[in-house]
Amino acid sequence: MDYSRSAQRTVIQFLRPEEEHASQIYRRMKEVYGEQYLSRCTIFRWCQRYEAGRVNIKDLPRPGQVHVVANSAKISAVNELIRQNRRISTLQIAVELSISKGTVKHIIHKKLGYGKVCAQRVPKHLADNRKTARMGVCLIQQFLH
């Protein structure tokens, strides 16, 4: 049986014109769907919407910033910028690619698995010998300046 919200909204939409009261619909939904039924408040709200003439069972678009998903093109573009200049900042990447700093940070840390070592972006999982070699280079650079 389909327990999705849209399926339950369809049931509400079907029962409402048959002069079923919202509380009766709630009891029937609770019996049929068991633990996965919509809440009483939600069922009453959808009954009111259908009484007001609504025919669509899908949610209406909400105001606010649209959620942007980090796709493979953005991930590869961020990776390429980091490989060109390991000292590039998240702000510079965000400005160059016209995406938010939060998205850039998510891509760098979660998708690419990079972290910062001595102000350079490097893969988080380095072998011990590579870590030692990087620290040696950083110490030498520190003493030269």
Domain parsing of the chain, residue ranges:
5-52, 72-111
Q: What is the pLDDT of residues 68-115, one digit of tens each?
A: 667 889 999 999 999 999 889 999 999 999 998 989 999 998 889 888
CA distances in angstroms from 16 to 40, 48, 60, 78, 129, listed in the order given: 15, 9, 20, 52, 70
How many angstroms separate the CA atoms of 60 and 92, rounded? 36
DSSP state of 123: E
Assessment of whether the complete model's pTM goes beyond 0.75: no
Tell me what pLDDT residue 43 has: 87
Strand, coil or helix: 115? strand
